[in-house]
Structure 1
Amino acid sequence: MLFWILLLISGVVSYLLLIKIPKRLAFLSKLAAVNGPPALPIFGNALEFQIPNNKILPLLKSYIDGYGTRLKFFLGLQPYILLTNAADTEKILSSQTQIEKSDDYDRLHDWLGLGLVTSGGEKWFHRRKQLTPAFHFKILEDFLRVFNEQCFVFKGLLEKKLEENEAFDIYPVITHCALDIICETAMGRKIFAQQKSDSDYVKAIYKLSEFVQYRQLRPWLHPDWIWRLSSAGRENQKCLKIVHEFTELVIRERKQERIEMLKESKENESKEEDGIYMNSKKKLAFLDLLLDAQETDVNLTDQNIREETDTFMFEGHDTTSAAASWITFLLSLHPEYQAKVHQELDDIFGSDRTRDVTMADLAKMKYLECCIKEGLRLFPSVPLIARKLTKDQILDDGVVLPQGVTIFCLIYYLHRDPKVFLNPEQFDPARFTHEKEGRSPFAYVPFSAGPRNCIGQKFAMMEEKVMISTIFRNFRVHAAEKMEDVGVLCELITRPEAGLHITLERR
């Protein structure tokens, strides 16, 4: 027995000395050309990140100030390369081969499975091609009806806030509107989040986002078995159960509805022959497009459909609500720019505060679009993008980033590069009145860029225009706090720490 124990120990030691350690040293030697803060053995820089969330961005800014726009740090034994310059960012995001999401996205697998956001390789290519028609112009035009209906409810809630005559946090009000929009466009189901914001489904969606960030910054919670044993992991499982059961129920019910609609359609065909049938085609949701695809693709299972539907819910409400909230608050701080928005909307709608927004109206909102773009520069909905290199990547100055390393493209500070944007902390919509000549397209990437850019960016821009125009067609908005008093959280989404407080004045 002793012989076998010694043999096992010697085998492990030999593996470490002859294979594992030399491979690790060779890997780290390739990173020597990249500067970064000193890291502790085993823990790396992880302990530095055990701070309140509103201190994460200042910590990263101190790294950038000290070590440049390309730097490395460690969370445990895992090295990360942080990029905040356009040239390096372009090398990563424009690549047709460096498209694998980092292992950090594994934290989303329990929630989103291997959907469009989390998958890679051939599965991603196939799914991206399959889902692209869902964002065709005609489909988006159909969704505009949902935007208008939910923004009518949204306007009513703002009227109530006006009557209360006190400052309030605009962020949750906009978020609930966005959640109603995305749930109806994604699943064809009304959840009335604006009227019932305390529903289990709404609360579970918010908590899941918080748990992903919480786990990411604690390397000791990365192993699945440890995470599931922790109190946060157990609460996370409860939220997953609520969200998945809701989506699965909607899929089952939608399938049954489609069977009944098909039956009704066949019956109406015979009635039409007698001249008594009027067509009343039911509006398609994102889920319907997936169910249509399932009829010709045997590999598209109900679980795949749930993954993509949950992904659309996750990506489609938090991002747009954050953007619309930040932009509304920025305009509340700058009445001179808000006045230009008012004038543009008056030119489009006149004194009519009630009629629906049309596609033609959206195309005329040129100045509002500049405000949205500038808001997304200062507060990109997704503050960073992560990739895991599948092969060595050579940068413009000859530095080689090794295969297997994780890249963080930190959009939040990429958009604040003073070499690209003069006075980068200043809100100035004029930056986008015409695209600046000579500026790299990878200096401004609020919807990512390259082959893995955001598939729903047109949807998002339309939704944000409808929501924001609803506010400024009807109200003057005044800030109830200063920008320097607002904490910014670098989570899955760029969030305000304690809300964005405003007051309203009827126009």
Structure 2
Amino acid sequence: MLEILTPAHLGWAVAVIFISVIVRFLLRLHFYRSLLKGLPGPPHSYIWGSLRSMNEVISKQPKRAAPQTFGSVIKEYYGLGDYFYVDPWPFGDPLMMVFDADIMNQFTVKQSMPKHPEVEKFMRNIGGPGNMVSSEGAEWKKWRSAFNPGFSASHLMSLVPSILDDVLIFNEILTKHAKNQEVFRMERATTSLTVDIIGKVVLDLDLGSQRGPNELVDAFMRQVRWQKIGAQFNPIELIDFPIRTPIQWYLTWKMDRYIGKRLDERFATREGRGRSKAVVDLALEAYLKEVKGASGDLSTVKGIDPEFKQAAIANMKTFVFAGHDTTSSTIVYTFYYLSKNPEMLAKIRKEHDEVFGTDPDATADRLREDARLLNRLEYTLAVIREVLRLQPPASTVRVGQKGFFLTDPKTGNRLPTEHMMLWPIDVGLHRSERYWPDPHRFAPERHLASSADSSADYNSKEAWVAFSKGNRNCVGQELAIIETKTILAMTLRTFDFEPAFSELDKLKGDNSGYPSDMSGVQEQFGDEAYQVQLGTAKPREGMPCRIKLRQQS
């Protein structure tokens, strides 16, 4: 046998394997390059696909800008229409980028296409198997139905007093920054605030991350920063897996252990506790219903089934992830845009005076007495919607299928989707002149015409997709709006905010994960505040700022 394994034979074997790999690569190259032949898109080559034309545009953008912002600039640079195809293979699947609300609705509302496999890959470490973002079919319906009561508007209003407790701590932190007259990153402060809020909603637990370290929060924040964004945007991901993979595994283990203990504690004490709408308890309720439906008897249930427990943990992590990110960034950008538009800041402060009285210190007491006062903040809601229009948190990504065609509403042409990633570009829809006159201007008034529509997902405006559309819209959207209204009501009349990008050098080496880098292009869409990719879309450099205590008139 050993005589057969001569150097010559081994050499031939290696050569055959090498040639097989090359042939397979060339066959796939031909397949993907042929797939987009004749379809609208940026300049395309047989060798490079769309990579060179994409790089031509991306190289002129801020080097850490979030990928979700690139679609708009590619569209504008090459004069493309409201949909086009991009071929980044071998760094990613072909993309159909959509900037048309009607086409978007065809695969998100009229027929909800499955999430693209890349969504599951992204959520693997942030959530896990069975998470509600990437799951499909009966599994998704089970969890969505289980958690809906925890995010009803009536229940969320009952949480306002608890939210206020965390905002009061946030105000103490801002006051300290103001008195120290220091530059700091607002995103770090708002993230700690919103994580503490979502910790109570999800786990019925005070994580206390505004006051000091927390095992779950620290692991979670590190995990977010280790998230992949796609090798087409960050080629280092092709070779960093020996470091990235074990770190992500370890952080996942830490988070799972922390939340698993909490689940076991709540399960063990369930009989001595009244019915709760905390997400952790809704998960346990779903489990007990499942067991009862199968056996009709709960007396023998001594613990949680491991498979169910893992899915519950995955959804707890998903809620912490999704629940903190939108609100954290929205608060930061709201402070920024209002500081740049004094007349709008004066208008929102006037509304708060009218609703809560002229003493800002009394706002918390007024809201504890009647949380429904938040429903009277029409201009505040318009401001929030406008911030989310200019800086949307994330967008859905669906997968095309054989035999599923989209239709161009103008021409009636059928548009292929097989082998495609279907991406409705939220930044593109939100900054389209077709839907929003003067789209890059911050103008809350544009939303007041439909102020009667108080829904969190703003159904009367088809091109506003901050929380997505259709049955896969964000379950936590009402919480995000209520949180944001409460935080703004508690802060805008107490503090003056001033962006401090020119003082970034003072924040170098602060272990925030932000580079304090002033080199290269530092504006996008004509604004110094833009989204960067740091695991998820975050405000550039964490929004360096100064805060001042406002002089009351």
State TM-score, norm by structure 1.
Answer: 0.83
Counterparts of 1:208 and 1:414, CA distance in 2? 30
Partner of 1:504: 548
Q: Show the 5 A alignment for 1:488-499.
A: 488-490=531-533, 493-499=536-542
Q: Quote the Cα distance in structure 1 between the aligned partners of 2:406 and 2:419.
A: 14
State the secondary structure of the residue aligned to 1:71: strand
1:45 and 2:51 are equivalent in the alignment: yes
Contact 1:379 / 1:494 at 8 angstroms: preserved in 2? Answer: no
Task: Go from structure 1 to structure 2 and tell me whether the alpha carbon gap of 1:400 and 1:503 turns closer, same or farther (over 3 Å shift).
Answer: same
User: In 2, are the aligned partners of 1:327 and 1:375 still within 8 Å (CA)?
Assistant: yes
Summarize deviations over 1:171-214 as a string: whole Å, max 9, x none: 21111110100011100111111011x44432322222222234
Which amino acid letter does the alignment assign opposite residue 494 of structure 1? A
Matched with 1:340 is 347
Q: Distance in 2 between matches of 1:475 and 1:232?
A: 40
Sequence identity, in percent?
20
Structure 2 residue 540 is the aligned partner of structure 1 residue 484: no
1:131 equivalent to 2:138? Answer no
**Alpha-carbon distance between aligned partners in 1 of 2:498 and 2:342, rounded to the nearest angstrom:** 8
Alpha-carbon contact 2:72-2:427 (below 8 Å) kept: no
After superposition, give the CA deviation of every residue in 1:147-175 in whole Å (9 maximum; x if it has no partner): 11111211221221221234433221111
Specify the alignment match of 1:207 in structure 2.
Answer: 222
Partner of 2:466: 446
1:215-364 paired onto structure 2 within 5 Å: 217=232, 228-229=241-242, 231-259=243-271, 261=272, 284-298=277-291, 301-350=308-357, 351=359, 352-357=362-367, 358-364=370-376
Deviation at 1:136, TM superposition (A): 2.2
Displacement of 1:477: 3.1
Partner residue of 1:74 out of 87, 93, 97: 87
Between stretches 369-378 and 37-46, larger displacement belongs to 37-46
State the alpha-carbon separation in 1 of the partners of residues 142 and 34 from structure 2: 35
**Aligned partner (choices 15, 40, 62) of residue 34 of structure 1:** 40
CA contact (8 A) 1:294 1:301 kept: yes
Q: Secondary structure at the match of 1:316?
A: helix
Residue number among 419, 443, 451 corresponding to 1:428 in the alignment: 443
Secondary structure at the residue paired with 1:376?
helix
Provide the rounded CA distance (Å) in 2 between the counterparts of 1:461 and 1:314.
16
Give the superposed CA RMSD: 3.4
The residue number in structure 1 matching 2:407 is 395
Task: Decide which moves more: 21-30 or 464-473.
Answer: 21-30
3-state secondary structure, aligned to 1:368 = helix
1:21 Cα deviation after fit: 5.2
Query: Which one-letter code corresponds to 1:35 in the other structure?
Result: G
Stretches of structure 1 lacking an aligned partner (at least 5 in a row): 263-280
1:484 shift after superposition: 3.2
State the shift of 1:360 in Å.
Answer: 1.7
Aligned-partner Cα distance in 1 for 2:194–2:475: 18
- Distance in 2, matches of 1:35 and 1:419, equals 20
Structure 1 residues 227 and 494: alpha-carbon distance in aligned structure 2, compared to 1, 3 A threshold:
closer
AA matched with 1:314 = F
Shift of 1:145: 2.5
Say whether 1:194 aligns with 2:214: no
Q: How many Å separate the matches in 1 of 2:418 and 2:491?
A: 48
Deviation at 1:324, TM superposition (A): 1.4
Please show how residues 176-191 of structure 1 align to structure 2 within 5 Å: 176-191=192-207
Bigger shift: 95-104 or 328-337?
95-104
In 2, Cα distance between equivalents of 1:42 and 1:174: 42
The change in CA–CA distance for 1:21 and 1:57 in structure 2 (over 3 A counts) is: closer
Change beyond 3 A, Cα 1:378–1:167: same
Q: What displacement does 1:371 show?
A: 0.3
Which residue of structure 2 lines up, in the alignment, with residue 266 of structure 1? none
SS of residue matched to 1:385: coil
8 Å Cα contact 2:467-2:473 kept in structure 1: yes
Q: Distance between the aligned counterparts of 2:111 and 2:103, measured in 1?
A: 15
Does the Cα contact within 8 Å between 2:83 and 2:97 map onto a contact in 1?
Answer: yes
**Secondary structure of residue in 2 paired with 1:504:** strand
Residue 62 of structure 1, CA deviation: 3.6
1:25 shift after superposition: 4.1
Deviations, residues 386-407 of structure 1 (Å, cap 9, x unaligned): 1112342222231322323101
Which string of whole-angstrom CA distances, capped at 9 and with x for unpartnered residues, describes residues 253-286 of structure 1?
Answer: 2222324x25xxxxxxxxxxxxxxxxxx586421
Could you tell me how far 1:329 is from its partner in structure 2? 1.4
- Is the 8 Å Cα contact of residues 65 and 530 (structure 2) preserved in structure 1? yes
TM-score, normalising length: structure 2? 0.77
> 1:97 deviation in Å?
3.9
Judging by fraction of residues, say which structure has more helix. Answer: 1
- The CA deviation at 1:72 is 2.0
Is the Cα–Cα contact under 8 Å of residues 208 and 214 in structure 2 kept in the other structure? no
Which runs of 5 or more structure 2 residues have no equivalent in the other structure? 292-304, 454-458, 503-525
Contact 1:353–1:473 (Cα < 8 Å) also in 2 = no
Moved more, 366-375 or 347-356: 347-356
